Amino acid sequence: MGEKRSLKTEMPDEKGGKEKETRGEHAEEKEPKINKVKTAGMAAAIAVIAISLCFPGNAYLTKTGVKTVGVLAAFLIMLITEALPVVVTSLIFCGLMPVVGVTPDLGTALTGYSEPIVFFTLASFGIAAAMTTIPLSKRILRFMLKTFGKDIKSVLFTVMAACALFSSIVSNVPTCAIFMSISLEFIKVYEREDERRRTGKAFMIAIPVSSMIGGMMTPAGSSINLIAISQLEKYNGTTVSFVHWMCAGIPLAVVMIPLAWYLAVKIYKPAPVSKQDIRQFIDSMDIPRQMEKKEKKVLAIVCSMLVLWISSSWISMINVMIVATLGCCMMFVPGIEVLDVDTFLHENSWDAFFLVGTVLSISAAMIDNGVSGVIAGLVPSLEISQQALIALTAVFVFVSLLVIPVASSLLPILAPTLIAVAANAGASPELIMMTAAICACNCYLLPLDTVALITYGKGYYAMTDMAKSTVYLQIAVTLLAALWLPVVGGMFLV
């Protein structure tokens, strides 16, 4: 979320000087509006905390619980309005919790930072940084284009499939950035501006969508998946293995990618391009003919990690997060040295690190202070089928993402309630948490998530353009999850 402003103000070179001048002319008019939103957000957050401090407890919620709700609401307001950078907001609320009495001390307020998922977040971006320094993604894409790239429709499908495949083991953010840059180079084959922009719209919407779809294929594909697993282990004492998650996520992605491609082609109508232009683009891709040593080293480490991740489904000693952490560290070892500290520190998403840590801390405070229990108690016992509960969970998560468009924040907050609701309904908490994570991964109804903002900032499509196709995708995810996840649960979670 911290990237939203800078991403939105970037405009593609293809727009020409006229639009850049227009942007410059109106910069002074827009800046006060942005400042007003941030100021209003900060004022609202302060007001919410002040009210929570004055509001007495009741028979359902103690005064400490009321203050916890106030801190949570204020934190979300600060994130959504971007009143301060994400890192600053996260640190402020860690320090604020003991001050207002939500936690007894600062150590308790920082409990979220002791969760393994926080350091998996660092490791995953380190692995992504190493992957982006080698041409592996381009090599995969070139091979697929040579094989399947016959026209613009097949090129778009190939880019989406390669993006989803890469995203299954690499974080969505760098994956989206890599394939966006490749696509921006490709659309330069168009001489006419209107054709370039029409095709650019299709690619710029399809890339974040496919990277998020790919992210749900494996637990390592997105930190959201591992947040769901860690919350499940913490509050229910059960887990979902790497292979079991793959059995759920991969079939969904196999259906969703062709559907997303079909909708992109039908709705955004990319302009035709000749086979010769496609061939020239393939030939222009700057990729060494043979794999260099650095590329082989990274590939060997990642493949070893994948083998260990899959093995963790049967060997309890192997932990997915430990494998990721040690795999990242291997990139620095003398003799391998495919990653240096400066690159690691620069490329890492510190916003994600601090955001996840603080959200987990607030989530723990909600449990300790009885807030989650009250919320779960307000939800009536649902005597419905597991399929219906999965569908209802999917709809609830998608609606919640419109209010709280920060998926990594939403999931820890919802986890205790979702697990309790599943237990009360006699449904599988594992399937409900998988549903929540899968839907949170598909946060693309509007370009509000950081992944979608990467391409939205290039100016090829308006805010509402994305929803013209993605609303159908979210409906499809809801139906597919309700149909397929109970089948997976019947095979593995018995």
Instruction: Report d(CA 180, CA 200) in Å as an integer.
Output: 10
- DSSP-assigned states of every residue in 135-203: THHHHHHHHHHHHH-SSHHHHHHHHHHHHHHHHTTS-HHHHHHHHHHHHHHHGGG--SHHHHHHHHHHH
Its pTM stands at: 0.82
Is residue 419 a contact partner of residue 429, using CB atoms and an 8 Å limit? yes
Distance in Å from the first CA to the final CA of the chain = 39
| In 237-380, alpha helices (H) | 242-268, 275-284, 293-311, 320-330, 341-347, 350-368, 371-378
Tens digits of pLDDT across the chain (494 residues): 444 433 333 334 444 444 444 444 444 444 444 578 889 999 999 999 999 999 888 878 899 999 999 999 999 899 888 889 989 999 999 999 999 999 999 999 999 998 888 888 888 888 888 887 888 888 888 889 988 888 999 999 999 999 999 999 888 888 998 899 999 999 999 989 999 999 999 999 999 999 999 999 999 888 899 889 988 998 899 989 999 999 999 999 999 999 999 999 999 999 999 989 999 898 888 888 888 888 999 999 999 999 999 999 899 888 888 998 999 999 999 988 888 898 888 878 788 889 889 988 998 899 889 888 887 777 766 678 899 999 999 999 999 888 777 777 788 888 888 998 898 888 899 999 999 999 999 999 888 788 888 899 899 999 889 999 999 999 999 999 999 999 998 887 65
CA distance 414 to 380: 16
Cα dihedral: 204, 209, 212, 214 (round 10): -100
